Amino acid sequence: MTATSKQEKLATLFRQARVIPVLTIERLEDAAPLARALVAGGVHTMEVTLRTPVAIDAAKAIIAEVPDAIVGIGTILNADDLARAHALGVQFGISPGATPDLLKAAAASALPFAPGIATASELMQALAHGFDFVKFFPAEQSGGIKALRALAGPFPSARFCPTGGIGEANAAIWLAEPNVLAVGGSWLCPADDVRSSNWAGITAMCERTMKSLKAASR
């Protein structure tokens, strides 16, 4: 796959998804029920972060047991993480940032990938490696929508998935920006709900969010 078609595939996936839940799975047995709860609420695309010892097995379990889930791996910090993600057969990789090594490895890999950026220089590095669809992280903490608009000026080709500080209250506001394809965040899978296996609560929140986003985009 060429660099452009990889990025287009990812951009299309994210544009369709609108919201990307960021999953930090502590117990392997939560993986499939959590993914099922998200899918039942209309949220099919999800990022499993490499932040816990069970993350890789959790992603494997979701792929095997929840065929309607579209799984990506997040918190990819280096080329090894990227290779591990690719070997799992996930649909995409995403990172809170980028290093020159990671950008090089991701440009050479067939796995669709979004590096993280928070500044103009970081965005320039991402663009130089062919990544015009990036994660803006941490979005609210890095200046919010004002910062994103300022970045859009010199970089009209860049498209974003803001993540960090986004929730039910502001997701639609971010998504109204023309260069925002999707928003990411942990709000759709609160740790307390996962801990208490409140799968119905997670499904209900997903349904509410998707409904409000649909209404906002009319």
| Active site members | 47, 135
| 33 lines the binding site for ligand 3PG (CB under 6 A) | no
Site string for ligand 3PG, 95-134 (x = CB under 6 A): -x--------------------------------------
Query: What is the smallest separation between the CB atom of 5 and ligand 3PG, expressed in angstroms?
Result: 25
In this chain, which of 11, 13, 22, 66 binds ligand 3PG, going by CB under 6 A?
Answer: 22
Question: Longest C-alpha distance within the chain, in Å?
Answer: 46
Q: By CB under 6 A, which span of 56-64, 157-165, 173-181, 200-208 interacts with ligand 3PG?
A: 157-165
Q: By CB under 6 A, which span of 58-66, 122-130, 161-169, 200-208 interacts with ligand 3PG?
A: 161-169
Restricting to residues 71-100, name those near ligand 3PG by CB under 6 A. Answer: 96
Per DSSP bridges, beta strands 19-23 and 183-185 are parallel
- List residues near ligand 3PG by CB under 6 A: 22, 96, 137, 163-166, 184-187
